[in-house]
Amino acid sequence: MPTLVEQRNIKPLALLVISVALIAGMTTYSFASIQRYGTLLDESEQIEKRLFALTRFVSLLKDVETGSRGYALTGQREYLEPYDQGRIQIGQNMSRLRKLMSGDSALFRQFEQLSKLSDEQLQNSGRIVAQGFMVPLTAADQLLLDDGKVTMDQLRDHVAGIDEAQRGLLQQASGAASRQARFTVAIVALGISLSLAVLGLLAFFLNQEVIRRMKAESDLGDLGTELDDHTELDDRIKLRTGQLRKNEARLSGILAASPDALIVVETSGLISFASNRLQDIFGYDPKEIIGKPIETLMPKRFRNGHSGHLRQFLSAPQAREMGAGLQLFATRKDGSEFPVEISLNPETEGEDLSVVAAIRDISERAAVMESLRQATNKAKMAELKSEFLANMSHELRTPMNGVIGFTDLLLTSDLNEEQKYHLQLIAESGSSMLVLLNSILDLAKIESGKLKADNAPFDIQEAIGSSSRLMRVAAEQKGLALNLKIDKDVPQYILGDEYRTKQVLTNIVGNAIKFTSSGWVSISVSVTGAPEARKIEITITDTGIGIARERQKEIFDEFVQADSSIVRRFGGSGLGLTISQRLLEVLGGGISCESEPGKGTSFVVTLPLIEAGPLRDDSSDHADRGAEPNKAARNARILVAEDHDINRVLITALLQQLGYHPDIAEDGAIAITKIEQAIAEKQPYSIVLMDLQMPNVGGMEATRNVRRMGVSGEELPIIAVTAHAYQEDIKACHTAGMQDHLGKPIIKDDLGRVLEKWLPASMGAEKALV
Ligand code: ADP
């Protein structure tokens, strides 16, 4: 098969061959024509020469005959000269004629005939001349002369025959020569024209070829330039291939690391690619799912509507979350459903459009979210419960304060024994109710996460000691010994929450006394744990009724008692241990129980041990100076800010019993006005007893305003009167600018002590002001 280059060369080459052949043919043919023309011309020339020689021969022969005859008839010798000359030249002429007529046999035979007649004539003339002057003529002379004449006439006729034939031949040759000349000219002209045409065509194709070659050369030049860059191109290809491989490796790394299963879905709805994660998430081998409809991965109930969604996405393709705001589900190979998150991305390659879907299994997250939701709900419920209980307990406390306060007031009046006993029962019931209210409130606070433990230095030995002292009366009343033993290595000051520690101890020791009818209760304190995690261990042991093994865990649950007879025999709510355990969790400690029914119980309370330095004693300035108010103090001006009518009557009555004459403000705003007025009239108050929850302006806000007015705690101590006597409440009171707090229900002795504690300082300040 010829190559492209060979194919391209065929036309000019053929033309070249044709033109060369044509020119060669034409030239040969023309040359042959010219030769033929030359031959014809030569032939004509020969004939002409022959005719001329014949004419000359006849003429010379006539000169010989005429000369011989003239001499014979005249006897003059002059006639012999043409005779002699003729005879000589005839010889030459005859040899010439012989040459000219020897080429053709017929012609040569005519020449021989002519030569014979010529010889006869010459012989006749010779004889005449030999006779000399013949006049008078003899018959023999006459015959001789006549013979000469006859031969001459024969000769003339023979020459005329030859001449005529030769002239005919000449005419033929001339015609042929001229025809040949015309033909040759035509042939040469045609040959030249044809050659020129072929050469023109050849030139055209050659020109085309030259143009093509030039273009090819230029292309070749470009290609050459490109080829010059070949090495660089090669390097670039290698580099690019390397990058592509790297990218490919990176992509498969990303796909492997991605928590999502990635699939590509074609417009037909068929899956054309799936990453290996599909196996982990769906249980399908990626190869197995390719070519399957996307609906294979969906729960049956969503399959029908899906093609519509796909069309919708393809009509306006843009990256987005699928089913934003909706919970999407997918189906595993085993048919199980699970929640997913799907992000869609359009992929275009040329005119082809497909969808890349990243599917994330969110089962775990959904489970976490669900538990979070439940926890949040629980927390919300606990918060609502806490709020409700806080409100309820406040609402219950206020009348309870009235009951307890007035009972307390009545108990100091003149009563008979029975009345006193009844009143004491009312007071105890009120106190029990308050304890229960406080417990419920505590539990609600713990459950809502609102209870925050204090982390301040306190005297742990004193805290345990005071709790023990507090419970000693109850123990002694039951004839029980209450022993306290604190190991030597127990530090005095630790970081923690004093109030809550005391609350727990009071509860556990209270239980020990409550559930022990004879024997003893002991409190022993020691340090345990590794040096880096030391703990204070407080063990409260009793010789009481004990707790059955199977109930020892449950008693820490809310409202649970060891058995149903407990409430009848000992009362209680079943909240104490729950609260203690929760409080200890908040404090970073714990509680455990060991018991043998009928023999006794041991509760072990642990607290984290973080030693603290000695406390700064700032209570010396306002030392408790005893319940008896001094004279100066009794003249003190006391302002009571209290919105509740009964509480106002109670506190007024209590203060009057203590020898004071208070002013009353019905809310915080009135209190501020009264304080301002008193200062302006230079009769400032010595102390303010401030309720916290009041309409318009509450106790905290009123205190902050008073402090902002520039009235210091030294000049005017403000005592919070509150049912919320928790550590955080007390802290908040101090932050607002209050100096102390008094818990509700107000007990006369407590009130007296607080006034005694704070009045002397303000009285001094009062003096300074006046
Ligand atoms: P309450 O004492 O108000 O009933 P607690 O939560 O303080 O509630 O105690 C729960 C239960 O644990 C008690 O009812 C009682 O049955 C049992 N219990 C607690 N402390 C002792 C103890 N020292 N000895 C015997 N039983 C106890």
The arithmetic mean of pLDDT across residues 259-264, rounded, is 88
Distance of alpha carbon 254 from its chain centroid, rounded? 11
- Amino acid identity, position 760: P
Find out whether the beta carbon of 451 lies less than 6 Å from any atom of ligand 1: no
Quick one: pLDDT at residue 220? 62
Tell me, in angstroms, the distance from the centre of ligand 1 to residue 218's CA: 109
Q: How far apart are CA 655 and CA 648, in angstroms?
A: 10
User: Which segments within 563-632 are labelled E, that is strand?
Assistant: 590-596, 600-608
**Nearest atom in ligand 1 to 542's CA:** 23
Say if residues 70 and 55 touch (Cβ distance below 8 Å). no
Tell me, in angstroms, the distance from the centre of ligand 1 to residue 168's CA: 176
Quick one: pLDDT at residue 622? 45
CA-proximal residue: ligand 1, atom 20 (nearest): 511
pTM: 0.47
Say if residues 60 and 89 touch (Cβ distance below 8 Å). yes
Find out whether the beta carbon of 543 lies less than 6 Å from any atom of ligand 1: no
Q: How far apart are CA 618 and CA 601, in angstroms?
A: 40
In the predicted structure, residue 625 carries a pLDDT above the cut 50:
no
DSSP string, 593-607: EEEETTTEEEEEEEE
Say if residues 405 and 654 touch (Cβ distance below 8 Å). yes
Q: How far apart are CA 655 and CA 76, in angstroms?
A: 225
Q: How far apart are CA 507 and CA 165, in angstroms?
A: 180
Tell me, in angstroms, the distance from the centre of ligand 1 to residue 664's CA: 45
- Assign 3-state DSSP to the chain and report helix, strand, coil percentages, each to 5: 65, 15, 25
Q: How far apart are CA 144 and CA 140, in angstroms?
A: 6
User: Which percentage of the chain shows pLDDT scores above 90?
Assistant: 25
Q: Which residues of 310-341 are buried (b: 16+ CB within 10 A; e: fewer)?
A: beebbeebeeeebeeeeebebbeeeeeebbbb
Q: What tokens does 157 get?
A: 């006729």
Tell me, in angstroms, the distance from the centre of ligand 1 to residue 340's CA: 50
pLDDT digits (tens, 9 = 90+) for 68-121: 888 888 888 888 888 888 888 888 888 888 888 887 888 888 888 888 888 888
Placement of tokens 């229900």 in the chain: 745
Find out whether the beta carbon of 440 lies less than 6 Å from any atom of ligand 1: no
Find out whether the beta carbon of 574 lies less than 6 Å from any atom of ligand 1: yes
**Nearest atom in ligand 1 to 575's CA:** 6
Tell me, in angstroms, the distance from the centre of ligand 1 to residue 562's CA: 7
The arithmetic mean of pLDDT across residues 647-667, rounded, is 89
Residue 560's pLDDT band, with cuts at 50, 70 and 90, is low
Q: What tokens does 424 get?
A: 């004491």
Residue ranges of alpha helices (H) inside 362-479 are 363-411, 417-447, 460-477
Tell me, in angstroms, the distance from the centre of ligand 1 to residue 405's CA: 30
- Amino acid identity, position 434: L
**Nearest atom in ligand 1 to 603's CA:** 23
The arithmetic mean of pLDDT across residues 129-141, rounded, is 81
Find out whether the beta carbon of 521 lies less than 6 Å from any atom of ligand 1: no
Tell me, in angstroms, the distance from the centre of ligand 1 to residue 555's CA: 7
pLDDT digits (tens, 9 = 90+) for 703-754: 999 999 999 998 999 999 887 666 677 888 999 999 998 887 788 888 888 9
**Cis amide linkage into residue 745, ω under 30° from 0:** yes
CA-proximal residue: ligand 1, atom 22 (nearest): 512
CA-proximal residue: ligand 1, atom 8 (nearest): 574
Q: How far apart are CA 589 and CA 579, in angstroms?
A: 13
Q: How far apart are CA 518 and CA 699, in angstroms?
A: 48
Placement of tokens 């005839």 in the chain: 90
Say if residues 758 and 740 touch (Cβ distance below 8 Å). yes
Q: What mean pLDDT value characterizes the chain?
A: 83
Sheet holding 740-743, edge to edge: 663-665, 638-641, 687-691, 718-722, 740-743
Say if residues 448 and 379 touch (Cβ distance below 8 Å). yes
Tell me, in angstroms, the distance from the centre of ligand 1 to residue 558's CA: 11
Q: How far apart are CA 723 and CA 729, in angstroms?
A: 10
Find out whether the beta carbon of 600 lies less than 6 Å from any atom of ligand 1: no
Find out whether the beta carbon of 579 lies less than 6 Å from any atom of ligand 1: no
* Domains, in order of start, for the chain: 4-194 (1.20.120.1730), 259-361 (3.30.450.20), 370-445 (1.10.287.130), 456-608 (3.30.565.10), 622-763 (3.40.50.2300)
Name the residue of 521, 577, 591 whose CB sits within 8 Å of the most ligand 1 atoms, as the mutation to test its pocket: 577
Q: How far apart are CA 648 and CA 347, in angstroms?
A: 79
Tell me, in angstroms, the distance from the centre of ligand 1 to residue 556's CA: 9
pLDDT digits (tens, 9 = 90+) for 377-396: 887 887 777 777 777 777 77
Find out whether the beta carbon of 544 lies less than 6 Å from any atom of ligand 1: yes
Other C-beta atoms within 10 Å of 377: how many? 10
Quick one: pLDDT at residue 724? 65
- Amino acid identity, position 727: Q
Q: What are the phi and psi torsion angles at 351 (to 5°)?
A: -95, -10
Residue 761's pLDDT band, with cuts at 50, 70 and 90, is low
Residue 210's pLDDT band, with cuts at 50, 70 and 90, is confident
Quick one: pLDDT at residue 546? 93
CA-proximal residue: ligand 1, atom 17 (nearest): 562
Half-sphere exposure of 434 (CA within 13 A, CB side): 22
